Each structure stands twice: as structure tokens, then as C-alpha cells.
Structure 1
Amino acid sequence: MNVTIDQRKANDVLRDVILGNKSSYRPKTEFCKEIESVILGTHVTYRYILVTGLLSKAVNQDCNPLALQAGSDLDGAYDARSVCHNVLVPIERELLANRLGGSNEPFLNKPARYPSLDIKNPVRRGNDERLLKCTIKILSGVSSSDEALSCLKDCIYYIFKREPRDFINLLSTDVGNHQQTDLINFARLLLGKSFEGESSALLVGLTFSLFSEFSGGFDVRVHKVNQAGTSSNEILDIDVYDGERVVYTIEVKDKRFSSHDVEHAVNKALKYGIRVIMFAIGPNGSLMDSTIGDLTAIWAKKGVSVYFVDVLSHFVSTISYLSIDIQNVIKIIDYHTDKAKMKDDTIKHIGSIFRELDWIKQK
């Protein structure tokens, strides 16, 4: 038997739990450790599945929270995707500062595309498999709406332990008093940790975004690290568009790289008719088997302009002639971290820097 979830009631229930969250509250359900593992874990989709299942069970006791689709064979199956996308996602954006992950349509991700949550569903061994088992244990263990509501409260407690992905709503009241030197200090602190090149990619994206506002409003697209080129809309790590035309494409290197890596990136750009390519080198980046001068000369003979910049130096030189609004900087960072789906650890690092510089409110 399929069931329906009153989405208006679900909206009210979730808002009440979030707005009623008190600093004195402590998780107390029998599944609190498993809930902590899932909510503070690294798998975005299981967070959404868990909260959606508990919310739906809290609203309709006949619901089977292990169901992901109304077409599931499980008794009590329901349309979890609609509840998630129509209720949880908008409220996450409004009240939770995108702490679950800021996904617009999380049930389109592979773990949520099965009829139901099952240990037999394909999953990567190790951490992902562990989080799947935790999610199943929680959702299969709640037998009443009251139990589901209690577990949902535990979820909200741990969600607020996560770093927000929407820093603009946490602005410090005196953010306007900050100077340009603070922005340079931010850049140095950001590059202090690499996170597989995400910090460097973010700073390059910020650099071009600030420059574009000064020079004509380009569309700066920072792609997910190590996945540039996997989509037809991606060339290198960062692509800058003027309308439909690519005006810059940038490969970010924050580790040792070779002339072969340069050739690979250049050939990708050439497929799109781009003959001017920038390589932005982070603090951990270095060219192993050649010199920058030699590579520049080799490609110049082929009619290709390849040039190399230091990430921090490029940033400092760019902002030196710009009027910088810290509030706008934070908006840009929010935008790029969201679009590039940057790691939780990167977001936590950014948040700690913002608080150190007193750009956002302390926790």
C-alpha cells in the first residue's frame, strides 16, 4: 500500500523543529551515534535521504522511510523525492544555510535513484557502505511518528554542527570596516591548506570574478577539482565566458606537474579553438621536467600562448587597482564553492578564516 505525505504539514513540522532547536538540547535517541555519523559524514545524498525519511515518518506514521519512490514494493512506499525537493531543499536554503550540502535536487544523485534504500544497492566499499548501513539502521528502527520526530530533532542538532555553505547570511555587523589588506591576509590563509587544489581554484575564481566586475561582467565558472572536461560545458578547471564565447580558460596546479600535464591541458583547450591558456600555480605546485620559459617558447612556435602565474601574486596584483567590498567577496565565494561542490573540509577551512578575520559572526 502506498501512502502520501502532506507536504504542508511536513513544512510546518520541519520549521518547528529547526526554530525550536535550543542550545541546551542534546541528542538522546538510541540512534544518535548513527545519526551523527550520517549528518557529519562525507556523503551528501545519505544526509538528505535520512532527514527526508524521518520527516516523512514524523508526518505520516504509515510511511516506510526506507522507500525512495512511490513505486517501491515496500508497504508504506511514498514519493520521497517530492518531499525532499519541495520541502527540505527550500527550508535548508532558508533556515539551515545549506548545511546539508546545498543541493537543489539531491534525489537525482545515484544513491537516491533506487526504489528503496537497501544494503544490496550498489555502493563504494568503505566509508560510503558504512554510511548506507547507518542510514538503513536508523530508518528501519523508527516505528512511530514520535520516534521519527525525536530522531529528526537529533538530526537538526548535528546539522547545526556543520559549517554553513551560505556565509553571506552570517555577516559580521562591522564587515564594512575591513581593509584591502584583510583580503590579502584571507588569500594567504586560504592557501595555507590545499584540499587537493580546491583552495587555489577558489582563489583564482575569486580573482577573475572581481576583475570581471571591473571590466565588463564575465561569467566565471569554477569546476569541480579534478573533473574539468567531464562535461561538454567544461574545458579546464576554470572557464571565463563573455556571453557564449570563452575568453579565458585556466588550469590550476597545486601539486607537482610535468610538461605532459601541460600538453594534455593545452590539447583540451585546442579542441575548443582556444589558443591562449593560463596555468595558475598554487603554493604546492611546481614544474618537474622543464622550465616555464622553455614550455612557453615551445608552444609559441605552434601558435599557442601558454603563460604561467602564481596564484597569490595574480590575486594581489589584480585587486591592487580595484575597490573591494568584503560583502561582495563573500557572495562570490559562496557562489563558487556551491557551483564547484567543494569539500566539507574546504568549507570548514573557509569558515574558520572568516571568523578569524571577523567577517562573519562567531559560532
Structure 2
Amino acid sequence: MSDDDPRIDKARAKAILFEEAARAGAGFIDPAWERLIDTFSQACENSSRTHIAFLGTAILAKCIDVRFDAFAVKEAESDRAYSARGLCHNVLVPNAPEIDINLGVTGKEPLNNQPYFRVQRVSRDMPVRGPVRPVIEMLCQLLDKLEALKSEAEARQALRAFIAVRKRYGQRYAPLTRITSALTAEQLITAIEEFVAESSEGGRRAQAIVAALMDLFAGEDRVHVGRVNDPSRTVPGDVAVRSATDPEKWERVFEVRDKPVSREDLLLFITRCRDAGIAEVAIVAVAGGQEDIPLAEARSWAIERGLTLSVFRTWADLVAQVLYWAPTPQIEGLAQIPALIYARLVALEVSPSGAAAWLDLVGSPEDGSPQGTAENS
């Protein structure tokens, strides 16, 4: 599947998006579409918000060419199909912050998640969890309405309603302009330790940091991050890295724990990874009250089951290993990590105040004066 569909004029798509954002701001909104999209948005809040990004993509596609198939995910599916992932990634996602709309999920590749990663076309029998089934039915009803549209003007009415509704959702995050590239490894580790110790936010802060480190190591396209406390994970662990040669397989996974890990936790995680066919597994056990774990026993237990277990007890150990094995020189990696962490904080919906706290630790304050960790440590 290509992200660069030649049938999509990205410049025109962006122009349409901004034109209709301006009209939506002026109040030119169809109330029927607004009600439907608002009802759908509320349903997605309690299940899977990835479907919001797909709906917005389908609406924008219809504005570009009303003949496009609103149900299409991949461009090879039919003559009317297009690359939904390409349109979403290249136009909708990068411009959403400027027109101030929330797409449900905050990653760069919303349609690189289940179920869109595997399917050619949206349908009512897509493989989803039971609680998501009503959302898929609502989505398909909206797509049916899009398919019935006869003109670009009608499609633009739906786009204005989508923009108006999605402006009401989401949190406001500070811009990245305060990030500095002057951090040493020691300063970065100190910032991470202080940041995680200040607040867990349900494990999101620690999980975002591990995901960002894997972004540096493997590239964002290969890194999958599960939602915190999500019982329906498609892969064991909180952060997983896809194989570079086979995107259907997982190369390694991380369980991120900022609360104490027990021997039983280790053995259970190893078992789940063995059952999923994953050979490289790691636990990031960075809780302040972490007791000693019988690691030799756990590693032997893992090897007997065909797995290799790594346990990182400090952020310093994990950061040092990632910097050493990452494909970029260490000095470049150090310059990239603060912004990678910030992006993952936003994607995992860490609080805006939490994200701002990270900027306070790794950059200059908003008034431009020096900041302690970044400049004076």
C-alpha cells in the first residue's frame, strides 16, 4: 500500500480543509450532519476513537472527488478506492492542529491501527471487539450517507460539520518551540526521572518515554503503543516494535511499570509473550519502591521457553542502551529524544499541564530565560 496516491491532490485537499474550516467558524454548518457526527463522536469516546479519524478522512476524500468510495481503506480495493491512510497521514493529521480539530487519536498514523491496518475496505463485519460493534454500525451508516452525496458542495457541508464538532473535543498543548538541543545524557536522564516521579498519570508518562526511545531506535512507523489499562491489546506489553522485514510480526515488546514488579508479574508477562510468539521481551521496572527480583531465575525460565528477557531497573540503563544501539549518532539521538517524548506525551493524552512540565524540564521557559535542567544542571 502506498501513502502517496497520485489521485489525491494534496495541495487541493489542504485548501479545501482550510476553506471549510473558515466557513465552519463563520457558522455555515448543516445541523443534520452536525447532530450525526456529534452522536458518533460521543460513541467513539467510550470505545475506539480511531474511527473518528477515518470518518474525517472519508469526508475529505468525497470533497476532493465525490466519486471516491467512502468505505475504501486501500487504493487497490477498486477503481473508486483511494489510499485513506495516505490522505489522513499527509493532509488531515498535519493540518488538524492549525485548524484546531481533534481527530480522536493523536498519533501520526491513525489508520495504522486495528482494524484499518489489515482491511481493504470498511464493512459492518470488520473484525472488532463486541463493544465496538455499534460504533462500526454507526460509522457505516454515516459512510452510506456520504456515498449518497451527488456533489462536492454536499460533501463540503459534511466536512464543515465534522470540523465544527471536532473543535469541541481534545486538550490544548503548548507548542514545541521551547525544546532545546543542549541536553547531555545525564541531564536527559535527570529530566526523565524528575518527570516520572512528579506524577504517574496512570502510567502514561513512563509509557510515553519508552515509546519515544523506541521511536529513536526503530522509527515511529514500527512502534506500536497500547492504550494504558487497555484489556484488548493486540500484542502483550505496553510498547511493541514491529519486525523490520515483516510488519505482521513483532520484534520485541516492553512492559512499562512505574509501580513495583513482582516475580509473578515477570513470569506472567513471559508466558503471554511466549503464547504470542515474541522472542525478545523487556520489562521497564522503574518504581522507587522496587524490591529485588530473582532475575537469574526469571531469565532461565524465559530461555527454557525460547525467549530472551531484559529488565531495566533505571532510566539510565534504558537510555544508555537505546542511545548505543540506535542508528543515529548519540549526540543526534540526544537532540531528538526530548521532542520525541513530547510527541508521545500528546499521543497518549498526558495532561496538558504534564506535557508543559516536560517542556519546563528540557527547554527554556516561555519568557526565554534559562531553565534549570536544560541550561544550569
For normalisation by structure 2, the TM-score amounts to 0.56
Paired position in structure 2 for 1:224: 225
Gap regions ≥5 residues in structure 1: 242-247
Distance 1:199 1:206 in 2: 11
Distance 1:105 1:255 in 2: 32
Return closer, same or farther for 1:59/1:250 CA change in 2, 3 Å cut-off: closer
Distance 1:133 1:256 in 2: 42
| From 183, 201, 207, the counterpart of 1:201 | 207
- Correspondence 1:161-176 to 2 at 5 A: 162=170, 170-172=175-177, 175=180
Distance 2:350 2:92 in 1: 20
Distance 2:165 2:36 in 1: 11
- Correspondence 1:117-136 to 2 at 5 A: 117-118=123-124, 123-126=128-131, 129-130=134-135, 132-133=137-138, 136=141
Q: What is the root-mean-square deviation of aligned Cα atoms in Å? A: 6.1
Paired position in structure 1 for 2:247: none
Distance 2:138 2:152 in 1: 22
Cα deviation, residue 149, structure 1: 0.5
Cα deviation, residue 296, structure 1: 3.7
Confirm or deny: 8 A CA contact 1:45 1:111 kept in the other structure.
no
Cα deviation, residue 22, structure 1: 4.4
Query: Paired residues, what number?
Result: 328
Paired position in structure 2 for 1:292: 292
Superposed CA offset, 1:106-155 (max 9, x none): 5983598375544x656434455236415624751774432320221333
Superposed CA offset, 1:31-90 (max 9, x none): 224434656845354234312332233344456635668999xxxx9634x242443332
| From 137, 149, 152, the counterpart of 1:145 | 152
Confirm or deny: 8 A CA contact 1:39 1:47 kept in the other structure.
yes
Confirm or deny: 8 A CA contact 1:251 1:278 kept in the other structure.
yes
Paired position in structure 1 for 2:34: 32
Q: Which amino acid aligns with 1:15?
A: K
Return closer, same or farther for 1:193/1:60 CA change in 2, 3 Å cut-off: same
Paired position in structure 2 for 1:88: 88
Return closer, same or farther for 1:133/1:309 CA change in 2, 3 Å cut-off: same
Return closer, same or farther for 1:354/1:302 CA change in 2, 3 Å cut-off: closer
Cα deviation, residue 344, structure 1: 4.3
Distance 1:8 1:222 in 2: 27
Return closer, same or farther for 1:114/1:360 CA change in 2, 3 Å cut-off: farther
Return closer, same or farther for 1:343/1:16 CA change in 2, 3 Å cut-off: closer
Larger Rg: 1
Paired position in structure 1 for 2:325: none
Return closer, same or farther for 1:135/1:162 CA change in 2, 3 Å cut-off: farther
